[in-house]
Structure 1
Amino acid sequence: MGFVTFIAVVLAALIVDFFWLDIENKRWKWLKGRSKPQQVLFFAFFMGASAILYYLFGYKFLN
C-alpha cells in the first residue's frame, strides 16, 4: 500500500468514526467538548504519528 493510500484510508476511517459511527458519543465525547483548533491539532498529531510509524515500520520490514 502506498503512503498516500495509507493516509487516505486512515483519514477516511477517522472521519467516518467521528461523524457517523459514534452517534452515542461513547468514544469521542471527550473530544467534542474541545474547541475546533484543539480538535484539528489532535487529528493532525494523530495523522503525523500514524505517518511516521507507517514509514518506520515499512522501512524496517519491507527492505
Structure 2
Amino acid sequence: MENDAWEKKFLVQIEKEHSVTGVFADDYKVIGFSFFNNDNKIVEFEKVINTWLETV
C-alpha cells in the first residue's frame, strides 16, 4: 500500500479539483474515494462512504 500512496492522493483530489462540464453536467458528479482492501482499510473506507452518502 505504501507504493500506492500517490494513487490515494490522486483519487481524493479528483472530487476537489475536477468537475463535469457540458450539456449533461447537471446529471453527473465526479467523486473520488481512497482505494481500500479488506485487510487494513475497510473501516476507513466505510466512514468516507457513509459521510458522502449523508450529503446526497
**Normalising by structure 1, what TM-score?**
0.31
- Rg (Cα) greater in structure: 1
Which structure has more relative contact order (CA 8 Å, sep 6+)? It is 1
Q: TM-score when scaled to structure 2?
A: 0.33
